[in-house]
């Protein structure tokens, strides 16, 4: 009898707790949001371009730092302030480190090898451990000679090609050279390098498929079982074509680089360091050839567009602010001996260069909405209910243009990071943009140290070597007189996950 009473007591307590839980949770409201249509919610209100500006506008209108939208049954939570992102994505990272399901990319196109798209769990952890150990601040020091070599080749190309004026292909070449030599120990050919082509082809498909709403199968996953020959299933044919490119990008450079290593290529690389670890044996299951092959293939996509876009923004900022360029050149001339390039050891003595790099990362944040996270378990924050499975978007653009932190946020002004009394970097004046532009929590960009070093060295060397001015053009006035005038810059960016 006593056993039954105990059981009843347990059941009654359970029922009571369940009722309290049931009552408490639904009573909490979702964060403020827009009124949507039945079934589709706000699906058609979210613009396909410059979403970050719209999100911020809505958050400001509703006077909230955390916004809720709903698209065809999926909850989307937008974090509009740095403090909110730090509270949730950094401090509660065990809940907020998932990735939303991407059917086209990971289930049809073979991008399941990509740690950036993997959901939080065992496979992600293994890949992340390998990439973290390979790219952490101390580990990347061994790759500095690769960075210096790629930078010198860039300066030489620019000297030879001064009248061309199109810097983007040069910056792209620099980042491709850097990442392929750091990852695989490969020296790439000047143009039409086959490995660069493999990665560019596969990544082009991935960028198209990553645009939300591009393929219906994202909303109706069961469609992935439709055969490729079925009328209207052209997405399956595309997926099959991209799948082949993806596998080639993962397998071909790895196999070639490994062969070269075995036949005596002496170059230091992530491949070499990790193969040595694998051969030495050990208990860590992150150190297997599968994990290594997958991780190396992710690095090209992670490193290229991001670094190239930031360098280009920096050049734009310097063209528009000759006084910033002048100040940086004066600082370099005072520190670096004539005939030498700035070096990593000079960084503490060149705070203005650091400020310029940080301002470029802030001014034109290249991942304005970060990479979406997913919430694994229902959570509460500031009296709001955040549902399990919600997609979490950190509005990095809003955080990096927050007027309370960065005065005149749309101005390119590296001085905001410099303490006028000491002349040193002082993030108490304006928060380090690195706290938001590289993402948050356990998913924070593992390439941030090498990205920063590549940017710092390239920009410092570029400023030390060249004057950077707006282009000039000849025009004929109505009077027939020919004059030269400065071309105004247009600031054209392609919108997307990476702008």
Would you list which residues are annotated within the binding site?
Answer: 445
Question: How far, in Å, CA of 202 to CA of 304, rounded?
Answer: 13
Question: How far, in Å, CA of 384 to CA of 79, rounded?
Answer: 13
- Our finding on whether 246 is near ligand HEM (CB under 6 A) is no
Candidate ranges 236-244, 253-261, 298-306, 402-410; the one touching ligand HEM (CB under 6 A) = 298-306
User: Of 286 and 371, which CB lies nearer to ligand HEM in the complex structure?
Assistant: 371
Cα torsion 396, 401, 403, 409 to 10°: value is 170
* Total number of residues that touch ligand HEM (CB under 6 A): 29
How many H-runs (helices) and E-runs (strands) does the chain carry? 15, 8
For 89, half-sphere exposure in the C-beta direction (CA atoms, 13 angstrom radius) is: 33
Q: Which residues are annotated as a binding site for heme?
A: 445
Binding residues for ligand HEM restricted to 304-363, rule: CB under 6 A? 306-307, 310
Show the site string, 405-444: x = touches ligand HEM by CB under 6 A, - = not. --------------------------------xxxx--xx
Burial of 200 (0-12, 13-18, 19+ CB in 10 A): middle
Give the nearest distance from C-beta 253 to ligand HEM in angstroms.
Answer: 15
Give the nearest distance from C-beta 301 to ligand HEM in angstroms.
Answer: 8
Q: How far, CA to CA in Å, does 249 sit from each of 24, 63, 196, 256, 473?
A: 50, 46, 9, 11, 42
- Our finding on whether 115 is near ligand HEM (CB under 6 A) is yes
Question: How far, in Å, CA of 428 to CA of 233, rounded?
Answer: 55
Interacting residue with ligand HEM among 69, 76, 78, 450 (CB under 6 A): 450
Interacting residue with ligand HEM among 88, 176, 180, 299 (CB under 6 A): 299
Interacting residue with ligand HEM among 98, 116, 409, 414 (CB under 6 A): 116
H helices present in 77-167, as ranges:
82-85, 122-135, 144-160
Binding residues for ligand HEM restricted to 49-108, rule: CB under 6 A? none
**Is 268 in contact with 143 (CB distance < 8 Å)?**
yes
User: Of 130 and 464, which CB lies nearer to ligand HEM in the complex structure?
Assistant: 130
Structure token digits, residue 499? 């702008």
- Our finding on whether 395 is near ligand HEM (CB under 6 A) is no
Which residues of the shown chain bind ligand HEM in the complex (CB under 6 A)?
115-116, 128, 131, 135, 179, 298-299, 302-303, 306-307, 310, 366-367, 370-371, 373, 437-440, 443-447, 450-451
């Amino acid at each position: 009898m006593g056993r039954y009473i105990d059981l009843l007591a347990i059941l009654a307590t359970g029922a009571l707790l369940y009722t309290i839980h049931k009552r408490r949770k639904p009573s909490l409201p979702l964060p403020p949001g827009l009124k949507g249509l039945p079934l589709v919610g706000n699906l058609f209100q979210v613009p396909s371009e410059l979403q970050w500006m719209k999100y911020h506008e809505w958050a400001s209108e509703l006077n909230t730092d955390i916004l809720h939208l709903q698209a065809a049954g999926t909850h989307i939570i937008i974090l509009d302030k740095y403090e909110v992102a730090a509270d949730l994505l950094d401090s509660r990272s065990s809940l907020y480190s998932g990735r939303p399901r991407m059917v086209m990319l990971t289930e049809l196109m073979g991008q399941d090898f990509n740690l950036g798209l993997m959901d939080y769990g065992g496979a992600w952890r293994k890949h992340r451990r390998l990439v973290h150990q390979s790219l952490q601040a101390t580990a990347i020091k061994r790759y500095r000679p690769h960075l210096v070599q790629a930078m010198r080749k860039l300066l030489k190309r620019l000297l030879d090609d001064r009248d061309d004026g199109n810097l983007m292909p040069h910056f792209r070449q620099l980042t491709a050279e850097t990442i392929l030599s750091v990852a695989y120990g490969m020296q790439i050919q000047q143009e039409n390098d086959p490995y660069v082509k493999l990665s560019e082809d596969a990544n082009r498909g991935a960028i198209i498929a990553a645009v939300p709403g591009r393929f219906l199968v994202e909303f109706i996953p069961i469609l992935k079982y439709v055969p490729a020959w079925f009328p209207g299933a052209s997405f399956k044919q595309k997926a099959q074509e991209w799948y082949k490119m993806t596998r080639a990008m993962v397998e071909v450079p790895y196999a070639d680089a490994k062969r070269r290593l075995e036949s005596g290529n002496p170059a230091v690389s992530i491949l070499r360091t990790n193969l040595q670890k694998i051969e030495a044996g050990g208990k860590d299951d992150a150190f297997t050839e599968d994990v290594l092959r997958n991780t190396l293939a992710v690095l090209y996509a992670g490193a290229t567009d991001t670094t190239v876009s930031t360098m280009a923004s920096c050049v734009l900022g310097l063209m528009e602010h000759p006084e910033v360029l002048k100040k940086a050149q004066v600082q370099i001339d005072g520190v670096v001996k004539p005939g030498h390039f700035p070096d990593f050891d000079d960084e503490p003595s060149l705070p203005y260069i650091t400020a310029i790099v940080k301002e470029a990362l802030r001014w034109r944040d290249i991942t304005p909405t970060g990479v979406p996270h997913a919430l694994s378990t229902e959570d509460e924050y500031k009296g709001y209910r955040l549902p399990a499975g919600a997609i979490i978007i950190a509005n990095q653009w809003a955080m990096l243009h927050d007027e309370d932190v960065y005065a005149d946020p749309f101005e390119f002004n590296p001085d905001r990071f410099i303490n006028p009394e000491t002349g040193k970097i002082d993030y108490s004046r304006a928060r380090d943009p690195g706290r938001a532009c590289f993402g948050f929590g356990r998913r924070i960009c593992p390439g941030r140290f090498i990205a920063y070093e590549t940017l710092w060295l390239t920009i410092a060397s570029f400023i030390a070597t060249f004057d950077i001015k707006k282009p000039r053009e000849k025009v004929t006035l109505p009077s027939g007189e020919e004059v030269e005038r400065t071309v105004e810059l247009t600031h054209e960016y392609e919108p997307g996950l990476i702008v």
